[in-house]
Amino acid sequence: MAEYKTPNVYVQEKSIFPPSVAEVATAIPAFIGRTEKVSYGANKTLVNKPMRITSMVEYAKWFGGPYLEAFDFNRVEDEHGNLLSVKMQPVANTVAKFILYHMMAQFFANGGGACYVVSVGAYHDEDGNEESPTASDEKNAFARALDEVAKVDEVTLLVQSDAIGRMSAVADHGQYYDLGELALQQCNDNQDRFAVIDVIDTFDPMTPANTRKMADDLASMRNELASDYRKYGATYYPNLVVATPRSYDESQVMLGGVAMDTLEGKPEHAMLKTALSRNYMQLPPAASIVGVYSRVDRDRGVWKAPANVTLAGVDRPTRKITNDDQMDMNVHSSGKSVNAIRAFTDKGNLVWGARTLAGNDNEWRYVPVRRLFNMVEESVQKATAFAVFEPNTPLTWLKLRTMISSYLESLWKQGALFGATADQAFFVNVGLGQTMTEDDINNGIMSIEIGMAAVRPAEFIVLTFSHKSIAGS
């Protein structure tokens, strides 16, 4: 007690409120891929160094610009040899070799904010030669970067779509899905993040006759992605044709063996420019999807399903998915649900699914349920850290129960939890004879049990109509 010597009125403040739970961020993705720049300053490397950014301006500052592609065109002439138009020859990959730059643009266009970028290497080596790693080597490079991401506590989402550009050959699909398994393993180990995985779409608009069927793409994922931690991830399909042309190097755009940059001022140059401006990018959807996650979390809350949401900057999905097509995607005997992206008349391009890869699991079937629990678990874990080494007594238990209950009640009031009353929506139990034994207390263990009735999306709305008799019955 303070010692008073001078006659006066002294004011003291007494804290009567328990500590509060500070909610963690829910949509901080980590993007892994190859970049134009891989160093800064005095040759300080960016490789395997997670860098936090919040805009495309920052991305360009640290990592540079897009990968510039090479294209070949043929002249289309009349019978007199007069140039009528130019026609692009089929390209080797419908998804460009390195796509991280354009992925980031889609993320920000769809509402993304803060994120981390990890470079696994450059587009070109020190001599200017384009890097051409094998699928196995690239998988190992991504795995090393993923290990570094595991150390970043703020990360809540994992995206590795850039690897598809080097693993688009059917023989290499397994290498890509191996990365998906590593991501799901990390999510399970850290218990604070969620993996968004693309189903490789083999649709080729340049050579549609060589395109595999949608069923083959889905079967490939379901056969190759064998992780036991499927509740921590979701897959999306098909690819998206975005409203951005593919990037190119004029010196590597050839028209009948003549470089485009030598045709400046000629009709051929203008024709090539026009054709290239319509040569839209085809991207895997995950980057756009995590942008949607960010937008929905911010506008509605992590408990709202990130679905029935319009995708910005997208011209169309590569494939037209019907209701019948989606039946096998959404509900499958393997449980490995695939969330569809569909084009609807007068509505645009919508995310039309919200299931995890554990689609047959009654507890973890839905993306918002898994991500809500991730948020609450980590928020409460961090908030209760003050109690480590505090007396394991009823007073401490009361502080913790009050603090956690207050946080869960606020979530219930926001609509995150189901129930007419707070008691129906959640419970928090802690105490001797309730969650702990005397032996637990003697061994320094304090056990707290928390239950939540998470809201689930109305995935199937059934309207029942009948005739009403004239008599009113």
Q: Which two tokens stand for residue 383?
A: 């908030």
**For 7, how many CA atoms within 13 A lie in the half-sphere containing its CB?**
0
pLDDT digits (tens, 9 = 90+) for 17-27: 667 898 999 99
Amino acid at 240: L
Query: Distance (Å, rounded) from C-alpha 216 to C-alpha 209?
Result: 15
The DSSP H or E segment spanning 221 is helix 214-224
Beta-carbon contacts of 457 under 8 Å, excluding residues fewer than 6 positions away, are 305, 307, 354, 366, 368
- Residue 448: pLDDT band (50, 70, 90) is very high
Query: Distance (Å, rounded) from C-alpha 369 to C-alpha 305?
Result: 8
> Within a 10 A sphere around the Cβ of 132, how many other Cβ atoms?
10
The residue-averaged pLDDT of 171-187 equals: 96
Residue 131 Cα to chain centre, angstroms = 26
**For 300, how many CA atoms within 13 A lie in the half-sphere containing its CB?**
14
One DSSP character per residue, 271-287 reads HHHHHHHT-EEEE-SHH
Query: Distance (Å, rounded) from C-alpha 200 to C-alpha 170?
Result: 9
**Bigger pLDDT: 208 vs 134:** 134
- Residue 431: pLDDT band (50, 70, 90) is very high
The residue-averaged pLDDT of 144-148 equals: 98
DSSP H helices, 300-347, are 323-330
Strand segments (E) across 270-398: 280-283, 309-310, 314-317, 338-344, 348-352
Q: Are 319 and 340 in contact (CB under 8 A)?
A: no
The residue-averaged pLDDT of 366-386 equals: 96
Task: Classify residue 332 by burial, with Cβ atoms within 10 Å: 0-12, 13-18, 19+.
Answer: middle
The residue-averaged pLDDT of 409-426 equals: 96
pLDDT at position 244, please? 94
The residue-averaged pLDDT of 402-414 equals: 96
Mean pLDDT of the chain: 94
pLDDT digits (tens, 9 = 90+) for 230-250: 999 999 999 999 999 999 999
Q: Return the axis-axis angle of helices 214-224 and 173-190, rounded to nearest 10°.
A: 50
pLDDT at position 1, please? 64
Q: Walk me through the domains of the chain, giving residue ranges and CATH numbers.
A: 29-370 (3.40.50.11780), 389-473 (no CATH)
> Within a 10 A sphere around the Cβ of 285, how many other Cβ atoms?
30
pLDDT digits (tens, 9 = 90+) for 53-87: 999 999 999 999 999 999 999 999 998 999 999 99
**Bigger pLDDT: 220 vs 12:** 220
pLDDT at position 210, please? 66
Handedness of CA 176, 181, 184, 186 (dihedral sign): negative
Q: Give the total residue count for the chain.
A: 473
